[in-house]
């Protein structure tokens, strides 16, 4: 269902933070869709890369709940093609960093079964705690 | 000396006298100059009474030069010059001291600072005017000869307008027919007039007009420029057909064309239909004559001697031995109408143009659509057609930021024409923004939508060709539904943007025409002089100046014609006397100045000394820095005059005071300072502003002399690159400043003391910030010792 969104100071602050973290001027995005059309993983994403740019520009912080930035493989196809020379993958990374710094527990260590713990690569376990180290 | 200077201190109805203590200024001047000056304080110098005062004083022979200390010269310099002439003096023995904008208004709240500054400003003006010499404008005669380069619709329109008013027009076109890109188009938007049908009457008018000399298949080999006096060398390339002029001999029987064994790409059919090596360019070509293309003709290939056409010709008019003709002509004005090239889409591999069979340019599509209704069209379009917008426009990846302005509408046109001819075709236009800004454009766009053309907002990213069907698959996000489309198309039409035609480069080079950031030719002023260039007597028309559609091009072409008429109507032109000159005794013939004048205004005379071609000099003073013997100088801004001004301006400085000397270029920096005064915006009272013709005039010696005389820091100001009156001055200034900075370090002067800033007319706060920053940073500097000062500059 389409919902009404509010343009808030907090949202504007969010845009500034993502721009600072990524070093990209997100308001420059023309919404031409070149990034999405060329993205090799776009079918795995819930919203398209250009939507990530749009939502961030409008300060819609629910962009952080999208899967897209985690699907992004930083292959730079979008970066190479953007007619405004924006580095979309840097914006993706900035969003990932922002999400991680919220330090929300995604996994409780107790919930991992013994079998899983044995099978899981150790790097995956370490990554689960990355929120404290990023 | 025998010279006496009249100094008028204007109260400006209180604007000046309420802040500045003019009595004190008067007293100061009396003390400094004694009997050499005659000082008067008056309420309104610009009024009739004020002007009469100057006139009467001059007539009574009290003095022979004048300083008016009043408002900025940009307001009343002309008024006072006129009063000088009325009194019988040369207008150039006048100096304006800017007491209002630079002193009383800016320092409204600090009367003491304003008064001190006013004394310095008046002193500097008196010191300068004592060295002013009478200057006269030179007059040069003009004819009515116009060269128009480029035979597209812009060149044609300009040529006809000028020829109709009796000007002697020469039109040069590099291709074998005039008509330009319009001769390739099928129809025009939004009215769908047949393009060839509306341009061909104009083309024949050009051919038939008694005042137009037409050279097709010709190139400009060289233009030697005087301003309003140009010598052009035109190469009229051989057509290899006899006779050169008279068509009667050739029967246009087509036997030669049928016999020719060569088949090659026809530009006027954009490769949709091929042509032979001997051909008539287009059905409506002007001149309607055969031509042999030596690039493909086998007769010109090494080791071959095909002469089938010559053998078959019943009139024997084919002449392989024909040679190019070189024509030299003199012109008073030139119109550059060299047009555009479409973006070469092979430069960006992603589109697959040149690699995929079914990816075509819009210009190719013009021809495809032109033939589509024929019983057997040379090229079919298939069922699903895609138009791709912004190919080579609005794309920073390839350095083209600008919008090409016509692509949206020509794509709408091609889509509409195709849909009308083949209603079953499924047509998609992929766009980023659809710009339908012109008269009738929005309606035309709506009409296309009504016909069933589908507009999809998104810029395609991927293009792949199916190996067997040769269909092109496109991947694109529909940014409105936020879905990614991946689909096959039978034909993909690229909406190529415009770029300056490559053929323009040598011409821009001969004429020293500047380009704007988008790569097109730069107009003299984006608002008020849209068809003038910075080179006097050279005008631009059409797409060489920037992307535009046909009506805009025609309007601009007529504008260029009218500007040419205005210029030529003057019959003679005067040369501003502010020009560079060479002291023949001091010049040692080192030639260093020659390369430092981008106008090529300096050459060596028969005595081996440098000489300035006055018709070419723009009076920027950039050459002066390159002269090791100080032989080069600039009238009205001679080194002696500037030295005297600097000396006088800084001589009242107390030991504990600081001074920032601002060398302000007349066009931007000086005006910014004026505007600050008008707005009563305050900046540091340590500033002293000296008017300069450009930043390039500020030589190393002038800077060193300023430090010697007590300046603590220097700010050199010029216009931002886009507003520079003379395009190269800021480059020269930067070079001079670099050398000056090195000299200061060598001489042991502590601190960073020389600043350069580029202003535009609105950069008020930046000026304030810059001088504030300088003022702050020089606070901590040790004063320059008198020993070091002596070493900086030999001049006393």
Q: Determine the residue of chain A that is closest to B476 in CA distance.
A: A37
Q: Flag whether pLDDT at A112 surpasses 50.
A: yes
Close Cβ partners of B38 (under 8 Å, ≥ 6 residues apart): B4, B5, B6, B7, B57, B62, B63
Shortest Cα distance from A32 to chain B (angstroms)?
5
Shortest Cα distance from A120 to chain B (angstroms)?
35
Q: Are B497 and B408 in contact (CB under 8 A)?
A: no
When computed from its CA atoms, the radius of gyration of chain A, rounded to whole angstroms, is 16
Q: Which residues of B414-432 are buried (b: 16+ CB within 10 A; e: fewer)?
A: bbbbbbeebeebebbbbbb
DSSP for residue B175 = S
Cβ separation of B459 and A42 shorter than 8 Å? no
Omega prior to B624 cis, within 30 of 0: no
Q: Which residues of A touch B475 (CB under 8 A)?
A: 37-38
Work out the pLDDT band at B792, boundaries 50, 70, 90.
Answer: confident
Q: Are B345 and B494 in contact (CB under 8 A)?
A: yes
Work out the pLDDT band at B1, boundaries 50, 70, 90.
Answer: very low
- The proportion of chain A whose per-residue pLDDT surpasses 70, expressed as a percent, equals 91
Q: How far is CA B251 from CA A42, A131, B287, B292, B719, in A?
A: 65, 87, 14, 16, 61
Close Cβ partners of A68 (under 8 Å, ≥ 6 residues apart): A45, A46, A47, A48, A49, A51, A52, A92
DSSP for residue B268 = G
Q: Are B299 and B320 in contact (CB under 8 A)?
A: yes
Cβ separation of B397 and A83 shorter than 8 Å? yes
Q: Which residues of B touch A38 (CB under 8 A)?
A: 461-462, 475
Average pLDDT over residues B252-278: 93
Q: How, if at all, do strands B264-265 and B602-604 pair?
A: unpaired
Q: Flag whether pLDDT at B245 surpasses 60.
A: no
Close Cβ partners of B451 (under 8 Å, ≥ 6 residues apart): B416, B419, B420, B423
Work out the pLDDT band at B641, boundaries 50, 70, 90.
Answer: very high
Q: Average pLDDT over chain B, rounded to whole?
A: 92
- The proportion of chain B whose per-residue pLDDT surpasses 70, expressed as a percent, equals 99
Q: Which residues of B touch A87 (CB under 8 A)?
A: none
Closest to B477 (Cβ–Cβ): which among A37, A80, A82? A37
User: Best mutation site among A39, A75, A83, A85 for testing chain B: the one with the most B CBs within 10 Å?
Assistant: A83
DSSP for residue B260 = -
Q: Are B734 and B720 in contact (CB under 8 A)?
A: no
Cβ separation of A36 and B484 shorter than 8 Å? yes
Cβ separation of B397 and A82 shorter than 8 Å? yes
Taking the C-alpha atoms of A105, A106, A112 and A118 in order, what is their torsion angle to the nearest 10 degrees? -110
Omega prior to B287 cis, within 30 of 0: yes
Q: Are B146 and B168 in contact (CB under 8 A)?
A: yes
- The proportion of chain B whose per-residue pLDDT surpasses 90, expressed as a percent, equals 79
Q: Flag whether pLDDT at B418 surpasses 70.
A: yes
Closest to A38 (Cβ–Cβ): which among B432, B457, B475? B475
Close Cβ partners of B653 (under 8 Å, ≥ 6 residues apart): B659, B710
For the record, the structure tokens of B565 come out as 């008429």
Q: Which residues of A touch B390 (CB under 8 A)?
A: 32, 83
Shortest Cα distance from A9 to chain B (angstroms)?
26
CB contact B4 to A (< 8 Å): no
CB contact B252 to A (< 8 Å): no
Q: Which residues of A touch B497 (CB under 8 A)?
A: none
Element (H, E) at B570: none
CB contact B397 to A (< 8 Å): yes
CB contact B349 to A (< 8 Å): no
Q: Which residues of B touch A42 (CB under 8 A)?
A: 477, 484
CB contact B460 to A (< 8 Å): yes
Please report the pLDDT score of residue B725 as a whole number. Answer: 75
Please report the pLDDT score of residue A130 as a whole number. Answer: 62
Cβ separation of B479 and A33 shorter than 8 Å? yes
User: Best mutation site among B479, B482, B485, B486 for testing chain A: the one with the most A CBs within 10 Å?
Assistant: B479
Closest CA to B391 of B371, B416, B364, B362: B362
Count CB atoms within 10 A of the CB of residue B215: 20
Please report the pLDDT score of residue A103 as a whole number. Answer: 74
User: Best mutation site among B459, B475, B480 for testing chain A: the one with the most A CBs within 10 Å?
Assistant: B459
> B491-518: per-residue pLDDT in tens?
999 999 999 999 999 999 888 888 888 9
CB contact A82 to B (< 8 Å): yes
Work out the pLDDT band at A134, boundaries 50, 70, 90.
Answer: very low
Shortest Cα distance from A94 to chain B (angstroms)?
22
CB contact A36 to B (< 8 Å): yes
**φ/ψ (deg, to 5) at A89:** -70, -25
Q: Flag whether pLDDT at B577 surpasses 60.
A: yes
Q: Which residue would you say has higher pLDDT here, A33 or B141?
A: A33
Most distant CA atoms of chain A, gap in Å: 50
Q: Which residues of A touch B457 (CB under 8 A)?
A: 33
Closest CA to A36 of B505, B574, B484: B484
Q: Which residues of A touch B433 (CB under 8 A)?
A: 30
Burial label for B539, CB within 10 Å (0-12, 13-18, 19+), is buried
Q: Which residues of A touch B460 (CB under 8 A)?
A: 34, 37
Taking the C-alpha atoms of B499, B503, B507 and B513 in order, what is their torsion angle to the nearest 10 degrees? 10
Cβ separation of B459 and A82 shorter than 8 Å? no
Q: How far is CA B38 from CA B10, B63, B65, B118, B787, in A?
A: 14, 8, 10, 17, 38
User: What residues of chain A, 115 to 134, have a C-beta less than 8 Å from chain B?
Assistant: none
Closest to A48 (Cβ–Cβ): which among B394, B460, B482? B482
**Cα B395 from chain centroid (whole Å):** 24
Q: Which residues of A touch B479 (CB under 8 A)?
A: 31-33, 36, 50
Rounded Cα gap, residues B404 and B363, in angstroms: 14
Q: How far is CA B553 from CA B205, B329, B337, B541, B547, in A?
A: 18, 27, 10, 7, 9
Closest to B476 (Cβ–Cβ): which among A37, A47, A84? A37
Shortest Cα distance from A17 to chain B (angstroms)?
25
Q: How far is CA B3 from CA B61, B93, B127, B330, B731, in A?
A: 11, 12, 12, 47, 39
Work out the pLDDT band at B141, boundaries 50, 70, 90.
Answer: confident
Closest CA to B208 of B286, B320, B309: B286
Q: Are B381 and B426 in contact (CB under 8 A)?
A: no
Q: Which residues of B touch A35 (CB under 8 A)?
A: 461, 477
Which of A19-28, B225-234, B642-651 is the least confident region?
A: B225-234
Average pLDDT over residues B537-545: 96
For chain A, what are the domain ranges?
9-102, 106-134
Omega prior to B351 cis, within 30 of 0: no
Specify which of A66-80, A91-105, B406-420, B730-744 reaches the highest per-range mean pLDDT: B406-420
Cβ separation of A37 and B461 shorter than 8 Å? yes
Q: Flag whether pLDDT at B290 surpasses 70.
A: yes
Can you point out the beta strands (E) in B590-749?
602-604, 610-612, 632-634, 660-665, 687-692, 713-719
Closest to A81 (Cβ–Cβ): which among B458, B461, B482? B461
Shortest Cα distance from B457 to chain A (angstroms)?
7
Cβ separation of B459 and A50 shorter than 8 Å? no
Please report the pLDDT score of residue B248 as a whole number. Answer: 64
Rounded Cα gap, residues B20 and B685, in angstroms: 13
**φ/ψ (deg, to 5) at B231:** -110, 115
When computed from its CA atoms, the radius of gyration of chain B, rounded to whole angstroms, is 33
Please report the pLDDT score of residue B247 as a whole number. Answer: 58
> B36-60: per-residue pLDDT in tens?
899 999 999 999 999 999 999 999 8
**Count of alpha carbons within 13 angstroms of residue A78, beta-carbon side:** 30
Rounded Cα gap, residues A104 and A119, in angstroms: 24
User: Best mutation site among A25, A29, A30, A32 for testing chain B: the one with the most B CBs within 10 Å?
Assistant: A32
Rounded Cα gap, residues B496 and B372, in angstroms: 21
Work out the pLDDT band at B2, boundaries 50, 70, 90.
Answer: low
Q: Determine the residue of chain A that is closest to B394 in CA distance.
A: A83
User: Best mutation site among A30, A31, A37 for testing chain B: the one with the most B CBs within 10 Å?
Assistant: A37
CB contact A92 to B (< 8 Å): no
> B157-190: per-residue pLDDT in tens?
999 999 999 999 999 999 999 999 999 999 999 9
Cβ contacts below 8 Å, chain A against chain B, sum to: 66
**φ/ψ (deg, to 5) at B418:** -65, -45
Cβ separation of A30 and B432 shorter than 8 Å? yes
For the record, the structure tokens of A64 come out as 């952080």
Shortest Cα distance from A46 to chain B (angstroms)?
10
Rounded Cα gap, residues B241 and B238, in angstroms: 8
Close Cβ partners of B566 (under 8 Å, ≥ 6 residues apart): none
Q: Flag whether pLDDT at A129 surpasses 70.
A: no
Count CB atoms within 10 A of the CB of residue B776: 10
CB contact A21 to B (< 8 Å): no
Close Cβ partners of B117 (under 8 Å, ≥ 6 residues apart): B102, B103, B107, B685, B687, B688
CB contact A98 to B (< 8 Å): no
Rounded Cα gap, residues B305 and B732, in angstroms: 57
Q: What angle do CA B73, B74, B77 make, to 5 degrees?
A: 45
């Amino acid at each position: 269902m389409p919902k009404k969104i509010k343009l808030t100071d907090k949202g504007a602050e969010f845009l500034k933070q993502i721009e600072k973290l990524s070093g990209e001027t997100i308001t420059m995005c023309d919404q031409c869709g070149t990034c999405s059309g060329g993205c090799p993983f776009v079918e795995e994403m819930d919203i398209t890369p250009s939507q990530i740019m749009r939502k961030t520009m409008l300060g819609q912080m629910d962009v952080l709940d999208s899967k897209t930035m985690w699907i992004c493989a930083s292959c730079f196809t979008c970066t190479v093609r953007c007619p405004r020379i924006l580095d979309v993958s840097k914006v993706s990374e900035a969003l990932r960093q922002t999400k991680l710094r919220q330090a929300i527990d995604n996994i409780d260590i107790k919930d991992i079964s013994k079998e899983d713990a044995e099978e899981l690569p150790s790097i995956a376990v370490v990554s689960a705690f990355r929120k404290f180290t990023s | 000396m025998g010279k006496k200077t009249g100094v008028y201190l204007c109260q400006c109805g209180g604007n000046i006298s309420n802040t500045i203590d003019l009595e004190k200024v008067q007293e100061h001047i009396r003390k400094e100059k004694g009997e050499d000056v005659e000082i008067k304080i008056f309420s309104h110098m610009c009024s009739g009474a004020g002007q009469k005062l100057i006139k009467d004083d001059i007539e009574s022979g009290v003095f022979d030069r004048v300083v008016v200390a009043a408002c900025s010269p940009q307001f009343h310099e002309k008024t006072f010059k006129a009063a000088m002439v009325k009194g019988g003096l040369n207008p150039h023995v006048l100096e304006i001291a800017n007491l209002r904008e630079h002193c009383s208004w800016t320092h409204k709240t600090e009367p003491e600072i304003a008064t001190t500054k006013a004394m310095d400003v008046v002193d500097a003006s008196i010191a300068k005017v004592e060295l002013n010499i009478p200057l006269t404008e030179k007059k040069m005669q003009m004819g009515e000869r116009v060269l128009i380069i480029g035979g597209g619709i812009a060149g044609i329109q300009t040529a006809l307008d000028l020829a109709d008013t009796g000007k002697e027009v020469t039109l040069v076109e590099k291709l074998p027919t005039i008509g330009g890109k319009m001769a390739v188009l099928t129809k025009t938007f939004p009215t769908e007039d047949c393009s060839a049908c509306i341009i061909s009457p104009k083309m024949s008018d050009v051919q038939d007009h008694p005042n137009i000399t037409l050279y097709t298949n010709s190139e400009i080999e060289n233009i030697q420029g005087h301003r309003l006096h140009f010598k052009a060398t035109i190469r009229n390339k051989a057509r290899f057909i006899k006779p050169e002029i008279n068509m009667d001999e050739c029967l246009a029987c087509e036997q030669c064309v049928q016999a020719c064994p060569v088949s090659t790409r026809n530009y006027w059919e954009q490769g949709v239909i091929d042509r032979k090596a001997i051909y008539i360019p287009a059905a409506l070509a002007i001149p309607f004559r055969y031509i042999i293309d030596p690039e493909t003709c086998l007769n010109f290939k090494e080791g071959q001697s095909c002469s089938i056409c010559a053998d078959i010709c019943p009139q024997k008019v084919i002449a392989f031995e024909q040679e190019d003709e070189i024509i030299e002509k003199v012109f008073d004005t030139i119109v550059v109408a060299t047009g555009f090239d479409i973006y070469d889409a092979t430069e960006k591999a992603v589109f697959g143009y040149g690699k995929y069979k079914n990816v075509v340019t819009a210009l190719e599509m013009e021809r495809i659509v032109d033939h589509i209704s024929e019983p057997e069209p040379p090229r079919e379009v298939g069922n699903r057609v895609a138009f791709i917008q912004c190919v080579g426009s609005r794309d920073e990846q390839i350095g083209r930021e600008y919008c090409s302005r016509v692509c949206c509408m020509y794509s709408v046109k091609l889509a509409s024409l195709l849909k009308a001819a083949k209603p079953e075709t499924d047509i998609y236009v992929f766009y980023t923004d659809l710009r339908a800004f012109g008269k009738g454009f929005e309606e035309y766009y709506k009409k296309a939508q009504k016909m069933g053309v589908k507009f999809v907002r998104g810029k395609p990213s991927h293009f792949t060709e199916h190996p067997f069907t040769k269909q092109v698959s496109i991947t694109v996000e529909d940014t409105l539904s936020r879905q990614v489309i991946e689909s096959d198309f039978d034909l993909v039409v690229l909406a190529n943007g415009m770029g300056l035609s490559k053929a323009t480069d040598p011409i821009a080079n001969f004429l020293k025409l500047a380009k704007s950031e988008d790569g097109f030719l730069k107009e003299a002023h984006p608002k008020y002089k849209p068809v003038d260039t910075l080179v006097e007597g050279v005008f631009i028309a059409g797409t060489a100046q920037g992307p535009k559609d046909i009506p805009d091009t025609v309007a601009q072409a007529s504008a260029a014609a009218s500007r040419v008429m205005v210029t030529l109507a003057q019959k003679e032109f005067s040369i501003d006397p502010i020009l560079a000159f060479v002291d023949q005794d001091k010049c040692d013939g080192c030639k260093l100045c020659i390369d430092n004048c981008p106008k090529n205004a300096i050459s060596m005379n028969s005595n081996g000394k440098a000489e300035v071609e006055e018709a070419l000099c723009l009076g920027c003073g950039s050459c002066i820095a390159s002269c090791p013997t100080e032989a080069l100088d600039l009238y009205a801004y001679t080194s002696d005059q500037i030295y005297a001004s600097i000396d006088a301006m800084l001589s009242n400085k107390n030991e504990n005071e600081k001074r920032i000397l601002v060398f302000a270029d007349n066009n931007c920096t000086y005006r910014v300072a004026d505007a600050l005064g008008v707005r009563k915006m305050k900046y540091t009272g340590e500033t002293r502003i000296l008017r300069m013709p450009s930043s390039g005039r500020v030589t190393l010696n002038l800077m060193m002399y300023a430090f010697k005389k007590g300046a603590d820091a220097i700010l050199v100001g010029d216009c931002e690159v886009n507003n520079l009156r003379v395009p190269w001055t800021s480059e020269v200034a930067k070079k001079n400043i670099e050398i000056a900075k090195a000299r200061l370090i060598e001489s042991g002067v502590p601190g960073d003391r020389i600043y350069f800033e580029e202003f535009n007319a609105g950069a008020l706060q930046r000026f304030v910030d810059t001088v504030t920053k300088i003022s702050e940073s020089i606070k901590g500097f040790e004063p320059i010792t008198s020993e070091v000062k002596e070493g900086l500059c030999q001049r006393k």
